[in-house]
């Protein structure tokens, strides 16, 4: 809201200056510095934050970490073109992993619930089924025995 007062003061300079100022302000507000420079700390911290979030959702981020390593090497070497190319590949990989992350998180949670239920049911099932199985096998092994009467 501060820039509205600034624009109202520029009215005295004329409509052309006002138009140019509005275009400049719109351009500056739509483009962040981090999106233009892949080596900026803001862009790198955003990538690391995304990797941490995906990793907490049980997604394999190995490929993205390799891209990040290449990006850091390119930034340290001063190769901005290569860094921009790697950053675009990294952004594409992260968007793919974000799409996959929710499904993967649900799969891991469902697996853990099923495994916990299985472990919880194992003792009662053993208590109930083991004697029955043992008696059934004992009966099967001895049913052909012949009983001889004593005199």
The one-digit pLDDT tens for each residue of the chain (151 residues) are 444 555 455 455 566 554 555 565 566 554 443 456 878 888 888 889 988 998 888 888 888 889 889 988 988 888 888 888 989 999 898 988 888 888 888 999 999 999 999 999 999 999 999 999 999 999 998 888 887 888 7
Q: Which two tokens stand for residue 74?
A: 């390119």
Q: Report whether 39 contacts 80 (CB < 8 A).
A: yes
- What residues does each domain of the chain span? 25-142
pLDDT of residue 112: 95
- CA 36 – CA 18 distance, rounded (Å): 27
Closest CA to 37 of 45, 26, 48, 29: 45
Question: Whole-model pTM?
Answer: 0.55
Burial group, residue 97, by CB count within 10 angstroms (0-12, 13-18, 19+): buried
pLDDT of residue 122: 96
Q: Report whether 67 contacts 93 (CB < 8 A).
A: yes
3-state SS class at 130: helix
Name the helix (H) or strand (E) containing 72: helix 62-77
Instruction: Convert the pLDDT of each residue in 122-149 to its tens digit.
Output: 999 999 999 999 999 999 988 888 878 8
pLDDT of residue 134: 94
């Amino acid at each position: 809201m501060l820039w509205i007062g600034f624009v109202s003061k520029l009215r005295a300079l004329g409509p052309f200056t006002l138009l140019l100022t509005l275009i400049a302000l719109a351009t500056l507000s739509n483009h962040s510095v981090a999106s233009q420079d892949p080596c900026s700390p803001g862009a790198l911290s955003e990538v690391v934050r995304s990797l941490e979030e995906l990793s907490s959702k049980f997604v394999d981020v190995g490929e993205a970490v390799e891209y990040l390593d290449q990006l850091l090497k390119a930034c340290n070497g001063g190769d901005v073109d290569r860094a921009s190319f790697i950053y675009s590949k990294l952004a594409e990989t992260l968007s793919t992993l974000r799409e996959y992350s929710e499904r993967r998180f649900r799969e891991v949670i469902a697996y853990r619930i099923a495994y916990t239920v299985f472990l919880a049911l194992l003792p009662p099932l053993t208590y109930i089924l083991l004697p029955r199985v043992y008696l059934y096998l004992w009966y099967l092994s001895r049913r052909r025995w012949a009983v001889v009467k004593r005199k």
